[in-house]
Amino acid sequence: MDKKNALRAGALAAGTTLMMLLMSSPALALARDDGDDPGQGLSAIETVGLYVLIPLALFAVIAGLVMVLDRSTVRVTKGGAPSKAGAVKADAKA
Q: Which pLDDT tens digit goes with each residue over 24-38?
A: 766 666 777 788 888
For residues 51 and 64, give the distance between their C-alpha atoms in angstroms, rounded to a whole number: 20
How far out from the chain centre does Cα 65 lie? 18
pTM (predicted TM-score): 0.45
Mean pLDDT of 48-55: 97
CA distance readout (Å), 59 to 48, 63, 64, 69, 91: 16, 6, 8, 15, 37
CA distance readout (Å), 40 to 37, 43, 46: 9, 9, 12
